[in-house]
Structures are given as C-alpha cells and as structure tokens.
A = this chain, B = another copy of it.
C-alpha cells in the first residue's frame, strides 16, 4: 500500500497530466473504471494501475480489478489521500492507469467496404474530441480521422469525454493534406459541414462510401476543403446562434447517415451494422 505522495511511481504518474511529459515519456493516463476497462479490452499496453480500494466498490470496479492481471499492468494500492492527487476528474472511481501511447497512423486504418468516416480538422478542446468519439461509437461510424498530426489524441479529458471509446473506435491522425488524399484515394464522397454550405444535410445521400468533415468551432474548415469534389453541407440554424457545438453537429450528421443507411433494413437489426467498422492492423 503506497501511503506517500512522494512515492516515485505516484510522482511520475502525476507528472503525466502535463502533455509535454506524456509526449516525452510516450505514456498516457487513464482515469475511470469504464475508461480503463475499455482500454484493456482494446489491447492497450497498460503498465501500472493505481487502485484505491475504498473507492473501488461498484460491481464494474470489482470486475475490472479481477481482469487486471490479464492486462499485464502492475497493480499498486494507494491510500485515499494519495489517490486524490492521482485522480483527474471530479468523479473518483478509484482507478487510474498508466499505459503506452497507442499509435494511430493513418496507414494502419483499414476501412470496410461501405465506410462512413468522420474527419475532424481542428480540435480546440480535448473534451470535444472525446464527445465526437462517443457519438461516433454510438452511431457506428467506421473510423474517426483527426486531420492534425499535432493533436494530443489521448489527453485525459478526451479519454474521459469519450467514456473510453477512444480505445475501441478506429482512429487515426495525420496531416490535413494526407487525410484529403487518403479519402480521395478510397473514392469516398467528401461532405464538409460549413455554416454557409449550399445544401442542407438532409438532402444528401449518405448510403455510399462517405467522409463527413468538420472544422474547429472558431475557425471552421480551411481552404483545403474547397475542392470541386468536396460538397459543403449545412445544418439549419433557426435561432440566435449561427452554429452548433462541433460535437452536436457531428452527432446530427452521424445519426442522419445511420438513419438513411438503416431505412431499408429492419430497424431492430442494429447489431449487424457493428461489422461495418474499420479495422486496425
């Protein structure tokens, strides 16, 4: 039982809240039971798991602790006081893990035959990326590509907002130009969400191989996405504000695509769509 904040393992884990430290050590922090369980299920290389037994009493927590040995991570029990320093979010679930940064290069992403790919060009807030991942997971989106190679994909807030789906969702990051070429090379129709788009998002057919591209809330999409093969679509905005939150806009597009793709199918046969996911090598 680790009782001191000055324990070197604890100190190293706390330092990982700083993104420079994460980049330097090539390690990430995973806070939360569901988040860590999904990381383990997805094969993340978990190194250490700090457990506060007093806080770890839900059924979900106990199941996670049972499965910990298989993850390969070393378990360290810590006192509540030490855990309070380790936990990132407000909700303390009694487990924080340290894992190697998962590699997510674009060339490792394999798509299914009729993919629906989400592309985010600019990510201002880690929480927004996490929220988009959670919605993409729910709507059965094939893969999410972040068109910015500098993005800190596995920021603790992203992991949290994604509820850990960041580990199971097919995901990649690359330079915007490389992403555009990659989409073109795969023959996807490219739909870019723009406030001033000429076509309503409901007037578009999402049943063929499709990429949905969204930009940052402050800047929107860059001119890279102005090509003749990129269609600008818009969401109706009937109120005082001129745009939705990026994760709200993404979710509407994901679920409209899903609605169209399921229209002719049995509406209760959702699980069959689970196989429409991309695979990572």
How many Å from the CB of A7 to the closest CB on chain B?
A: 32
Q: Are A239 and B203 in touch, CB under 8 angstroms?
A: no
Q: Are B200 and A239 in touch, CB under 8 angstroms?
A: no
Q: Are B202 and A248 in touch, CB under 8 angstroms?
A: no
Contacts of A136 in B (CB 8 A): 239
Q: How far is the CA of A38 from the CA of B239 in the complex (A)?
A: 11
Q: Are A137 and B240 in touch, CB under 8 angstroms?
A: yes
This protein's copies in its complex: 2
Contacts of A273 in B (CB 8 A): 238
Could you tell me which A residues sit within 8 Å of B by CB distance?
A: 34, 38, 41, 131, 134-140, 161, 163-165, 168-169, 200, 202-203, 235-241, 243-245, 247-248, 251-252, 255-256, 258-259, 262, 267-268, 270-271, 273-274
Tell me which of B138, B163, B236, B245 contacts A236 (CB under 8 A).
B138
Q: Are B202 and A241 in touch, CB under 8 angstroms?
A: no
Q: A134-B245, A135-B248 are in contact. List 16 more A-B contacts (CB 8 A).
A: A41-B240, A131-B245, A135-B244, A135-B245, A137-B238, A137-B240, A138-B239, A138-B248, A139-B238, A164-B241, A165-B239, A165-B240, A200-B267, A203-B267, A238-B273, A251-B251
